[in-house]
């Protein structure tokens, strides 16, 4: 810039001087400044971006998930050993208990091996990264000498100022935030925040099935309290025909499914095939959208019997009432089954509700029946997913590849709707295909582009 102006001035000078005298005139330009090392800056930038792509939040969460799995596993082992000790009649331990403990030890060994390899990988990465950061810092300090015009310095001051302003604004806003009376079906029903992820795992089939759901049964049968379930859309991202069970969180993470699969049918699609990802397990039965029907199916995992609950006339199905964001819709998400402390719910939309979300309680029982129904004023295609907690319906929307927002709630106790929830979920991958709340441990389970992720929900 400076150079350019001087050249122009110089040209002007030569012209005016040349006209009268015809003597030769030379104009000497000497720059005090060294040439800016653009190439060096490019390398530093490239190195920094390499560094960024190597160290992702996924990496830390991976480790935390393993530790959480181990923590839960050890507690279980402790309990089982106590049972074993009670069985000790002086000579013989119960064979069955010994067998259980042997299996647990194997699982713990696998978990520790995985922890070991993950930790070693991280150590290498950390060593590498800190070395690179040192080098980068030195380079940047050297490059700063070229900032003779103090452009960068000025910009930095501006950034500091605007950050301060933002913080000031935020502090102001939080003090006047509206407070909602904590009503719902639990003593502490007001959702304050969602933190984490606490668990992030690719599970047994890394990268294989983009659509699915997983979680814990909120009302498990005896002896299955620590079990997890997984349903993957194994065919066309649309159909599934079995539930896969894991005896613990660590078993799910290391991919050892001991109870294995419980099949609805040997192939799909068949009459009772699972269609779409938003299923839930409750009281030992899977609730889901059955193939080609505007109905909820209930599959009893013990008896393998399927019962059907017909939804009202006009209910949108077969991928005609999906969850969406601006870019795309998630196919076959017409029906979203949800669980919370009070049981099973179904979220859907109908022609007569113009595509707005409709919420109904599913009354368990033989056969299951449709209970009370609530109509909302939120358009289903503006929502990416929903879940229930303490009798309150929550809806999410897509913000960007790394962030989803819980923006909406409908309280079934008071009938009030809110559009300003403003709680953000840190995503590990861009899309959430299923969301479900587990009242057992206040965790929000998400199935995200074939990964299983869970978040801690904080209530006040
Ligand atoms: C960039 O990374 C390469 C390879 O890791 C290294 O040799 C080089 O010194 C780094 N350059 C800078 C400017 O950090
Ligand atoms: C961890 O892995 C390393 C190398 O693979 C091995 O030498 C070491 O014994 C392992 N540690 C444990 C506790 O398994
Ligand atoms: C460490 O950095 C070097 C080059 O700087 C790279 O070749 C190597 O793969 C890195 N190691 C890890 C574990 O990222
Ligand atoms: C605070 O609220 C005002 C008025 O609603 C809004 O203009 C401003 O952007 C808010 N600031 C922040 C940081 O959210
Ligand atoms: C909610 O949790 C996130 C992530 O832990 C945190 O950054 C944020 O400040 C929390 N928000 C509130 C209002 O506590
Ligand atoms: C499954 O069937 C068994 C046997 O009929 C019954 O005891 C149990 O309650 C059923 N479970 C559900 C969730 O319907």
Which ligand 1 atom is at minimum distance from the Cα of 132?
A: 14
What mean pLDDT is predicted for residues 365-381? 93
- pLDDT, residue 101, reads 76
Nearest ligand to the CA atom of 178: 4
- pLDDT, residue 336, reads 97
Q: Is the CB of 195 under 6 A from ligand 5?
A: yes
Are the CB atoms for 349 and 357 separated by under 8 Å? Answer: yes
Give 139 or 14, the one with higher predicted confidence.
139
Give 368 or 30, the one with higher predicted confidence.
368
What mean pLDDT is predicted for residues 216-226? 92
What mean pLDDT is predicted for residues 24-51? 74
- Indicate the pTM of the whole model: 0.68
Instruction: Give me the residues paired with residue 389 across strands.
Output: 392
Pocket test for ligand 5, best of 177, 193, 426 (most atoms within 8 A of CB): 193
Confidence at 377, pLDDT banded by 50, 70, 90: very high
pLDDT per residue as tens digits for the range 166-217: 887 777 666 554 455 446 778 778 899 998 888 888 888 988 999 999 999 9
Tokens representing residue 61 in the block: 């969460």
- pLDDT, residue 256, reads 84
Nearest CA residue ID for atom 10, ligand 6: 300
- pLDDT, residue 18, reads 46
Q: Is the CB of 127 under 6 A from ligand 3?
A: no
Nearest CA residue ID for atom 2, ligand 6: 303
Give 149 or 448, the one with higher predicted confidence.
448
Q: Is the CB of 193 under 6 A from ligand 5?
A: yes
What mean pLDDT is predicted for residues 232-241? 93
Give the distance (Å) from ligand 2 centre to CA of residue 113: 7
User: For residue 393, with 0-12 CB atoms within 10 Å meaning exposed, 13-18 middle and 19 or more buried, which class applies?
Assistant: buried
Q: Is the CB of 129 under 6 A from ligand 3?
A: no
With tokens 């005016």, the residue in question is 16
What mean pLDDT is predicted for residues 414-440? 93
Percent of the chain with pLDDT over 90: 47
pLDDT per residue as tens digits for the range 128-166: 888 888 888 888 888 777 776 666 777 788 888 888 888
Q: How far apart are CA 18 and CA 34, in angstroms?
A: 32
Which ligand 3 atom is at minimum distance from the Cα of 127?
A: 1
Give the distance (Å) from ligand 2 centre to CA of residue 101: 23
Pocket test for ligand 3, best of 44, 59, 128, 129 (most atoms within 8 A of CB): 128
Which ligand 1 atom is at minimum distance from the Cα of 46?
A: 1
Pocket test for ligand 4, best of 164, 166, 169 (most atoms within 8 A of CB): 169
Nearest ligand to the CA atom of 198: 5
Nearest ligand to the CA atom of 127: 3
Percent of the chain with pLDDT over 70: 86
Q: What is the 3-state secondary structure (H, E, C) of the chain?
A: CHHHHHHHHHHHHHHHHHHHHCCCCCCCCCCCCCCCCHHHHHHHHHHHHHHHHHCCHHHHHHHHHHHHHHHHHHHHHHHHHHHHHHHCCCCCCCHHHHHHHHHHHHHHHHHHHHHHHHHHHHHHHHHHHHHHHHHHHHHHHHHHCCCCCCHHHHHHHHHHHHHHHHHHHHHHHHHCCCCCCCCCCCCCCCEEEEEEEEEEECCCCCCCCCCEEEECCCCCCCCCCCCEEEEECCECCCEECEEEEECCHHHHHHCCCCCEEEECCCCCCCCCCEECCCCEEECCEEEEEECCCCEEEEEECCCCCEEEEECCCCECCCCCCCEECCCCEECCCCCEEEEECCEEEEEEEECCCCCEEEEEEEECCCCCEEEEEEEEEEEHHHCCEEEEECCEEEEEEEEECCEEEEEEEEECCCCCEECCCCEEEECCCCCCCEEEEECCCCEEEEEECCEEEEEEEEEC
Which ligand 4 atom is at minimum distance from the Cα of 173?
A: 1
- pLDDT, residue 172, reads 66
Which ligand 1 atom is at minimum distance from the Cα of 139?
A: 13
What mean pLDDT is predicted for residues 328-356? 95
Q: Is the CB of 142 under 6 A from ligand 1?
A: no
pLDDT per residue as tens digits for the range 239-248: 999 999 998 8
Pocket test for ligand 1, best of 37, 38, 40, 43 (most atoms within 8 A of CB): 43
* Angle at which helices 95-144 and 38-54 cross, to 10°: 170
- pLDDT, residue 67, reads 80
Which ligand 4 atom is at minimum distance from the Cα of 172?
A: 1
User: For residue 419, with 0-12 CB atoms within 10 Å meaning exposed, 13-18 middle and 19 or more buried, which class applies?
Assistant: exposed
- pLDDT, residue 183, reads 67
- pLDDT, residue 386, reads 97
Per the prediction, the chain carries an average pLDDT of 84
What mean pLDDT is predicted for residues 95-101? 69
Nearest CA residue ID for atom 14, ligand 3: 125
Confidence at 92, pLDDT banded by 50, 70, 90: low
What mean pLDDT is predicted for residues 380-407? 95
pLDDT per residue as tens digits for the range 272-331: 999 999 999 999 999 999 999 999 999 999 999 999 999 999 999 999 999 999 889 999
């Amino acid at each position: 810039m400076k150079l350019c102006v001087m050249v122009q001035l110089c040209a002007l000078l030569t012209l005016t001087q040349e006209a009268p005298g015809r003597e030769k005139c030379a104009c000497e330009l000497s720059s005090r400044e060294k040439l800016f090392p653009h190439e060096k800056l490019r390398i530093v930038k490239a190195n920094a971006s390499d560094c960024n792509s190597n160290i992702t939040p996924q990496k830390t969460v991976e480790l935390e998930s393993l530790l959480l799995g181990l923590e839960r596993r050890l507690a279980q082992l402790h309990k089982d050993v106590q049972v074993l000790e009670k069985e000790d009649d002086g000579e013989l331990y119960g064979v069955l208990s010994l067998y259980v403990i042997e299996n647990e030890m194997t699982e713990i060994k696998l978990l520790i091996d995985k922890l070991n390899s993950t930790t070693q990988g991280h150590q290498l990465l950390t060593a590498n990264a800190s070395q690179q950061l040192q080098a980068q810092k030195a380079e940047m300090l050297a490059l700063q000498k070229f900032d003779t015009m103090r452009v960068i310095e000025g910009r930095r001051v501006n950034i500091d100022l605007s950050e301060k302003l933002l913080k000031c604004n935020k502090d102001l806003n939080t003090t006047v935030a509206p407070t909602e009376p904590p009503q719902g079906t639990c003593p502490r029903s007001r959702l304050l925040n969602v933190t984490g992820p606490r668990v992030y795992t690719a599970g047994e089939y890394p990268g294989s099935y983009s659509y699915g759901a997983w979680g814990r049964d909120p009302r498990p049968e005896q002896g299955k309290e620590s079990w997890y379930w997984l349903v993957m859309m194994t065919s066309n991202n649309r159909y599934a025909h079995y539930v896969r069970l894991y005896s613990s969180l660590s078993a799910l993470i290391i991919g050892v499914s001991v109870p294995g699969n419980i099949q609805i049918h040997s192939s799909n699609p068949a009459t009772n095939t699972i269609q779409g990802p938003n299923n839930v397990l409750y009281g030992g039965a899977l609730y889901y959208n059955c193939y080609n029907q505007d109905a909820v199916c209930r599959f009893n995992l013990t008896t393998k019997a399927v019962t059907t609950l017909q939804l009202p006339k006009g209910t949108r199905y077969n991928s005609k009432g999906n969850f969406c964001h601006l870019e795309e819709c998630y196919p076959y998400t017409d029906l979203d089954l949800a669980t919370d402390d009070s049981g099973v719910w179904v979220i859907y939309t109908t022609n007569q509700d113009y595509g707005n979300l409709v919420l109904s309680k599913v009354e368990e029982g033989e056969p299951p029946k449709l209970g009370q129904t609530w109509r909302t004023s939120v358009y289903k295609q503006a929502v990416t997913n929903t879940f229930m907690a303490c009798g309150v319906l929550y809806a999410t929307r897509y913000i960007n590849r790394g962030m989803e927002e819980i923006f909406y709630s409908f309280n079934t106790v008071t009938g009030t709707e809110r559009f300003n929830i403003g709680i953000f979920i840190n995503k590990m991958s861009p899309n959430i295909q299923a969301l479900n709340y587990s009242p057992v441990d206040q965790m929000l389970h998400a199935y995200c582009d074939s990964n299983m992720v869970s978040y801690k929900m904080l209530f006040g």
